[in-house]
Amino acid sequence: MTVKVSVVVPVYNPGPYIEDCIASLLRQSLPDDEYEAVFVDDGSTDETPTRLDELAARHPHMRVLHQENSGWSGKPRNVGIEAARGEFVMFVDNDDWLGDEALERMYAYGVEHQADVVIGKMAGKGRPVPLELFRVNRPRADVMNAPLIDSLTPHKMFRRSFLDERRLRFPEGRRRLEDHVFVTEAYLTAGSVAVLSDYVCYYHVKREDASNAGFQRIDPVGYFRNLREALDVVEKYTEPGPLRDRLYRRWFRNEMIERMRGGRLLGWPEDYRHEMFREIHKVAVERFGPGVMTGMLPTQQVVGALIKADRYPDIEALARWEKDIRPGAELTGLEWEGGTLRLAFTGEMRVSKEPMTFLHKGEEGLLDIPIETAGRDVVALQDADMSARTGKTKIDLVVRERSTAAEFYQPVEFTRQRMDGQEADRFRLVLRATATIDPQSAAGGAPLTRGIWDVFVRIHICGWTKETRLGAVRSEAARAGRRAAFLGEPARLVLPYWTEPHGNLSLDVGQATSRFAYDLADLGVREVRVDGADLVAHLPVQVAEEAEALLHLSGNAGAERTVTARAVVTAAEGRSGSVLRAGLSDPELAEGDWRLELSLCDEPERRTRLPLVLIVGPGGAFCLRRPHEGAAQHPVPPPRKPRPGLLRRAMRRAQRLTAR
């Protein structure tokens, strides 16, 4: 069969970090004869060459090419392109890995939409990845209708015929930003670009030793010389005007302005800061006209104006103030409505633990930042916007899977509220939001996978985008509304819980933890009782309609019985949650103590111990008690057909007792 995708992996001394990459390639859902992996070993000196040769010997669709060290990843990627036999070429770094269905989904999406470039949703483990680009699927994207320019890493799928027709290859040699040059030209010459956002295809991983090439300190002179080459590509394919300015804006913002802000700037030695500033100033003055800053957020425009005006002291003063900016959020409501978790929360920015304030001036207000008068005059001369743009502030809710960092935006509605500051000429800006998390569709339309999903609030105000965990600050109503839910068919457990020790909100999906036992730890004979031949339990668990579960009974000498139980929603006896009923008459239960455990039908091995023991007495009588305690209620015999003789004797005994 024709090879659909060739995965090109440049390799240099990855050590054990390559194992996750290899494993993900072997797990791909595409049949083995429809894709290949081409590992290009760039002169590795560790055990990797032997490891790859052994891999290729066992798996015919895994290929290895060896070459002398070239100094960077451009040449091995080009060698991989030449060796590729696939209709599409996908680039993967040796310390990253793919989602199991990444190649199948990206290839199908690219073919369906006749794309020359296919970008799959990315997740970052300790590394930043584009966020806005992956809010929705974009079947026909370009640099005008989508923020493509925010994603310039090469970890995408490219149609091989497109690369050959355009003679598109990576710059080679020991250099930086070769991927910016390659990907920018691809965007500007592609017939179509498709963005797949409803499945995480690519996982960027920061090594524990932070030895990824992209995390090494840059040489400012060489770095910005290479950056100019990316700007040259934009200049080659665009005319002067709004589009070119919009594209240039990406490099001015990400590679220059953001390096001059907050803790990022202050974390460098002083001499290195000045060297970096000098090179950034040169490029800004040489290449970026007034239109490049237009459209940036206000704080970015301020820093950009100070860079162009060569005012480093003002930049450092602003960075010292910015490093103390933190987001703040309070969870004010939490409850299940049907199968959907509804949240209410507020968010605002804080500076040195105090609310951030803005100056009253005009409809939008003004930024209240510590710049000297001379610096403000320079900013004004360059027409930089210092308005607070309060009407464009927003707040997002994101769920992120802890082990993979896969994240998804959730539906949010919010309002903006101005509140008086401590001084009459200043005001605070508070965002009040409600959001929903439907575990059956929260992962881009698909159910949340089994695991721990942390809940984050992301606040966007005036050029600062900060995120924080939600839940550590919470109201009593939010605390009282937290409970587990049985959702779907077959049912699975979704448990909101507070993390330790910080008390943040997370979701345990599919019993990835043992925390459900804590929710059931307070069950007693008031919540669990024997009703005839049934065990009836009032559980602090939400069910949308009806859920089926299993009650496991473990007795002496390894005896075990399993009973099907049904849970239905109830508010009986003033208790919200659900009532679960399991029949005890079917299984043969010998006399003695029986431990009780609860599981869901699709995962019977994931059991949660109930804090009660069922005691079966003589004649099949039942009672319940807590472990290591006396009987919690008198034995209740199972229902049976009454015998006339026994009934007459009981009546005579009752008459004698009454006569006394």
Backbone phi, then psi, for 302, in 5-degree steps?
-65, -50
Q: What average pLDDT does range 427-435 have in this prediction?
A: 97
294 close to 384: Cβ distance less than 8 angstroms: no
Q: What average pLDDT does range 124-132 have in this prediction?
A: 89
What is the distance between the alpha carbons of residues 348 and 333, in angstroms, rounded to a whole number? 17
Tell me if residue 502 falls in helix, strand or coil: coil
Identity of the highest mean pLDDT range in 121-125, 529-533, 585-589: 121-125
Q: What average pLDDT does range 559-583 have in this prediction?
A: 79
What is the distance between the alpha carbons of residues 86 and 542, in angstroms, rounded to a whole number? 50
pLDDT at 26: 98
What is the distance between the alpha carbons of residues 153 and 567, in angstroms, rounded to a whole number? 50
pLDDT at 174: 87
Decide: pTM greater than 0.85. Answer: yes
Which helix (H) or strand (E) element contains residue 265? helix 262-266
Residue 587, pLDDT > 80, answer no
Residue 20, pLDDT > 80, answer yes
Q: What average pLDDT does range 402-411 have in this prediction?
A: 94
Which of 94, 152, 97, 102 is closest to 124 using CA atoms? Answer: 97
572 close to 584: Cβ distance less than 8 angstroms: no
What is the distance between the alpha carbons of residues 98 and 101, in angstroms, rounded to a whole number? 8
* Parallel, antiparallel or unpaired: strands 484-487 and 541-543: parallel
634-645 in b/e form (b: 16+ CB < 10 A) is eebebeeeeeee
What is the distance between the alpha carbons of residues 658 and 640, in angstroms, rounded to a whole number? 26
Domains observed in the chain: 1-216 (3.90.550.10), 218-323 (no CATH), 328-361+393-509 (2.60.40), 520-625 (2.60.40)
Q: Please count the CA atoms within 13 angstroms of the CA of 608 that sit on its side-chain side.
A: 23
What is the distance between the alpha carbons of residues 540 and 529, in angstroms, rounded to a whole number? 15
Which of 500, 537, 536, 539 is closest to 519 using CA atoms? Answer: 539
What is the distance between the alpha carbons of residues 533 and 526, in angstroms, rounded to a whole number? 17
Q: Which residue has the higher pLDDT, 651 or 53?
A: 53
CA distances from 310 to 371, 382, 524 (A): 14, 13, 72
Q: What average pLDDT does range 239-253 have in this prediction?
A: 96
DSSP 639: P
User: What is the dihedral sign for C-alpha 52, 58, 60, 62?
Assistant: negative
- Look up residue 158 and give its two tokens: 């490219």
Q: What residues contact 208, with CB distance under 8 A and at least 6 apart?
A: none
pLDDT in tens, 325-365: 999 999 999 999 989 999 999 999 999 989 999 999 888 89
What is the distance between the alpha carbons of residues 459 and 394, in angstroms, rounded to a whole number? 6
> Crossing angle, helix 220-237 and helix 270-287, to 10 degrees?
20
Tell me if residue 461 falls in helix, strand or coil: strand
What is the distance between the alpha carbons of residues 10 and 8, in angstroms, rounded to a whole number? 7
Which of 411, 355, 14 is closest to 209 using CA atoms? Answer: 14
Cα radius of gyration rounded to whole Å, the chain:
32
**CA torsion, points 372, 378, 380, 381, in degrees to nearest 10?**
160
pLDDT band per the 50, 70, 90 thresholds, residue 230: very high
88 close to 158: Cβ distance less than 8 angstroms: yes
CA distances from 127 to 155, 203, 269, 463 (A): 14, 10, 23, 21
What is the distance between the alpha carbons of residues 192 and 73, in angstroms, rounded to a whole number? 26
Residue 444, pLDDT > 50, answer yes
What is the distance between the alpha carbons of residues 507 and 497, in angstroms, rounded to a whole number? 6
| Angle (nearest 5°) at CA 650 between 644 and 654 | 145
What is the distance between the alpha carbons of residues 377 and 372, in angstroms, rounded to a whole number? 9
CA distances from 653 to 455, 621, 639, 641, 656 (A): 65, 22, 21, 20, 5
> How far does CA 659 lie from the centroid of its chain?
75
Length of the chain: 660
- Considering the chain, what percentage of its residues have pLDDT values greater than 90? 75
Q: What residues contact 350, with CB distance under 8 A and at least 6 apart?
A: 325, 326, 327, 328, 356
The amino acid present at 260, given as its one-letter code, is: M
The amino acid present at 242, given as its one-letter code, is: P
Residue 576, pLDDT > 70, answer no
CA distances from 427 to 361, 365, 419, 423, 461 (A): 10, 9, 6, 8, 14
298 close to 388: Cβ distance less than 8 angstroms: yes
pLDDT band per the 50, 70, 90 thresholds, residue 378: confident
Residue 551, pLDDT > 90, answer yes
CA distances from 355 to 251, 263, 427, 451, 641 (A): 31, 19, 9, 35, 73
Q: Which residue has the higher pLDDT, 304 or 381?
A: 304
226-244 in b/e form (b: 16+ CB < 10 A) is bbebbbebbeebbeeeeeb
What is the distance between the alpha carbons of residues 555 and 563, in angstroms, rounded to a whole number? 14
Residue 137, pLDDT > 90, answer yes
Residue 214, pLDDT > 80, answer no
What is the distance between the alpha carbons of residues 349 and 424, in angstroms, rounded to a whole number? 19
Q: Across the chain, what does the average pLDDT equal?
A: 90
> How far does CA 482 lie from the centroid of its chain?
21
Residue 660, pLDDT > 60, answer no
186 close to 170: Cβ distance less than 8 angstroms: no
What is the distance between the alpha carbons of residues 501 and 546, in angstroms, rounded to a whole number? 34
Tell me if residue 403 falls in helix, strand or coil: coil
Which helix (H) or strand (E) element contains residue 243? helix 242-251
Strand (E) positions, 411-523? 412-420, 426-437, 451-461, 464-469, 484-487, 492-498, 505-509
pLDDT band per the 50, 70, 90 thresholds, residue 458: very high
